[in-house]
């Protein structure tokens, strides 16, 4: 018995049938040849037989050949009919496991949580991109190709003042050699509406769908016909007279051979236990080649200047910053006309940005949800610090008619950030 691939087992059985049939044919041909040899023999001692008698004997021999050939054919048919033909049995071993995706198909993630390993892949793919900021929120799944595709649900925004943060599905392509880059973006155009103010939308502490959100979706979807809704990730919520949920769902039309698609689904659950779907938003695919992704987003609104005085003239206001910052060897001065002035301190791939602008609110361009957010006093300024509990990555504050922001790619100690804030005005 041959173990292993059931397709190989099937080929073995078919070959066995063909071998048996071939042996029968060979036997029949041999039998015919034997008959030919017997019928063609003549008595070597009767050389005086007349030519007429020879012709008669040849005619008899031909008739004998035909009869024996027909008998041989009958023997072959009878032999084949007697051969037992085993059936090819399709057992569970040869069936595709329904829980395993086909090669080339997408395999949904068991959990939407972005692990450290998945975050490292995403950061590697986006580390050289400028113009846009990407915050991976949920991991959706993978696809085996000549390498691996990875799909993430992200919050994305242009790194310019007054930019709008929206939801998008970003696909990464990882080669067999470990290189990784963005291959596709599917944008929703839907603002996240996240706010740290009471009554605003708050990002979910965990993207795994809570029981209350799942129950609200089930109640709301039960009132609708034509599609099935499966909650994949819980993105945000808002407390009102009841509660609003923003969920990423797989939506599947109830028709034969329907294809599922990811959709943003907004659900409202009232205080009486009722629920309804208030909004759905689809994602629109946008593909880019490698050159497009080298500086994706919006055209750079900044102009570079050789001195702080020139930049101040362009921005419409001055800004005081340190001439240099320890650990950074390069300084770039840039501004947006009548709007914002920025100084970047650079060392390799690490950047430290100091901004001053006329717009009220957060002008940092950093939309990441940090685990440690707190207010501190630096002189007469009330500063909001954002970090991970060990380092501070962003500081924002207002002073008079201007807003300020400091962002550090590699983070800083709270003491170092506080000292730098005191040198900015």
- Tell me the domain boundaries of the chain: 6-41+49-82, 106-286, 301-421
Say whether 302 sits in a helix, a strand or coil.
Answer: coil
pLDDT at 7 over 70: no
Angle, alpha carbons 207-208-209 (nearest 5°): 105
Q: What is the pTM of this model?
A: 0.53
CB-based contacts of 272-276 (< 8 A; 24+ apart in sequence): 273/219, 274/219, 275/215, 275/216, 275/217, 275/219, 275/220, 276/220, 276/223
Nearest CA-CA partner of 265 in 315, 312, 219, 328? 219
- Backbone phi, then psi, for 292, in 5-degree steps? -60, -35
Of the pLDDT bands very low, low, confident and very high (cuts 50, 70, 90), residue 57 is low
pLDDT in tens, 20-51: 444 444 344 444 444 444 444 344 444 433 44
Least-confidence region, from 32-36, 119-123, 201-205, 261-265: 32-36
Q: What share of the chain is helix, strand, coil (3-state, %, to 5)?
A: 25, 40, 35
94 or 27, greater pLDDT: 27
Q: What average pLDDT does range 267-294 have in this prediction? A: 79
Neighbours of 394 (CB within 10 A): 23
Cα–Cα distance measured from residue 272 to residue 160, given in angstroms and rounded to the nearest whole number: 43
* C-alpha dist (Å) from residue 393 to 154, 165, 332, 343, 414: 20, 19, 20, 16, 9
- Cα–Cα distance for residue pair 155/186, rounded to 1 Å: 12
Element (H, E) at 214: helix 211-222
What are the distances in angstroms from CA 95 to CA 4, 6, 18, 99?
13, 9, 25, 12
Q: Token pair for residue 128?
A: 């050289």
What span, in angstroms and rounded, lies between the C-alpha atoms of 203 and 2? 56
Which of 123-153 are b and which e, b meaning 16 or more Cβ less than 10 Å from the residue's Cβ? eebbeebeebbbbbbbbbbbbeeeeebbbbb
Tokens 């496991």 label which residue?
A: 97
What distance in Å separates the CA atoms of residue 258 and residue 183, rounded to the nearest whole number? 25
CB 219 within 8 A of CB 274: yes
Lowest-confidence segment of 335-349, 359-373, 387-401 by average pLDDT:
359-373
The confidence score (pLDDT) of residue 364 equals 83
CA–CA gap between residue 103 and residue 3 (Å, rounded): 23
Contact by Cβ (8 Å): 208, 183: no
Q: Confidence class of residue 179 from pLDDT cuts 50, 70 and 90?
A: very high
Give the mean model confidence (pLDDT) for residues 71-93.
42
pLDDT value of position 366: 76
pLDDT at 226: 84
Kind plus residue range of the DSSP H or E element containing 212: helix 211-222
Cβ atoms of 184 and 198 closer than 8 Å: no
The model's pLDDT over 148-178, given as tens digits with 9 standing for 90+, comes to: 999 999 999 887 766 789 999 999 999 999 9
């Amino acid at each position: 018995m041959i173990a292993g691939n059931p397709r190989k087992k099937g080929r073995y059985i078919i070959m066995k049938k063909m071998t048996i049939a071939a042996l029968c044919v060979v036997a029949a041909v041999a039998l015919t040849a034997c008959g030919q040899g017997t019928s063609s023999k003549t008595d070597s001692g009767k050389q005086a037989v007349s030519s007429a008698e020879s012709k008669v004997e040849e005619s008899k021999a031909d008739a004998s050949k035909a009869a024996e050939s027909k008998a041989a054919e009958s023997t072959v048919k009878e032999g084949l009919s007697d051969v037992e033909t085993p059936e090819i049995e399709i057992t569970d071993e040869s069936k595709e496991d329904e829980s395993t995706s086909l090669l080339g198909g997408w395999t949904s993630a068991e959990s939407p949580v972005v692990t450290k390993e998945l975050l490292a892949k995403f950061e590697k793919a986006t580390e050289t991109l400028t113009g846009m900021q990407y915050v991976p929120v949920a991991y959706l799944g993978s696809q085996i190709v000549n390498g691996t595709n990875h799909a993430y649900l992200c919050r994305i925004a242009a790194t310019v003042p007054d930019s709008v943060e929206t939801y998008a599905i970003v696909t990464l392509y990882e080669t067999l050699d470990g290189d990784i880059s963005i291959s596709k973006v599917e944008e929703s155009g839907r603002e996240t509406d996240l706010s740290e103010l009471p009554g605003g939308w708050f990002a979910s502490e965990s993207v795994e769908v809570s029981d209350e959100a799942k129950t609200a979706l089930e109640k709301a979807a039960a009132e609708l016909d034509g599609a099935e809704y499966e909650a994949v990730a819980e993105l945000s919520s808002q407390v009102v007279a009841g509660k609003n949920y923003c969920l990423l769902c797989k939506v599947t039309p109830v028709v034969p051979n329907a294809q599922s698609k990811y959709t943003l689904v907004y659900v409202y659950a009232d205080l009486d236990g009722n629920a309804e779907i208030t909004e759905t938003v689809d994602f629109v695919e946008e593909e880019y080649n490698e050159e497009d992704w080298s500086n994706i987003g919006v055209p750079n609104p900044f102009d570079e200047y050789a001195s702080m005085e020139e930049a101040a003239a362009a921005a419409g206001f001055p800004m005081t910053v340190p001439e240099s910052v320890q650990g950074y060897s390069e300084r770039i001065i840039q501004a947006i006309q009548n709007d914002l002035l920025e100084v970047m301190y650079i060392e390799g791939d690490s950047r430290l940005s100091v901004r001053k602008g006329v717009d009220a609110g957060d002008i940092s361009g950093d939309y990441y949800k940090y685990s440690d957010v707190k207010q501190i006093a630096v002189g007469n300024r009330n500063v909001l610090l954002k970090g991970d509990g060990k380092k501070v990555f962003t500081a924002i504050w207002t002073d008079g008619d201007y807003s300020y922001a400091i962002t550090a790619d590699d983070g800083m100690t709270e003491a170092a950030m506080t000292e730098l804030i005191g040198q900015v005005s």
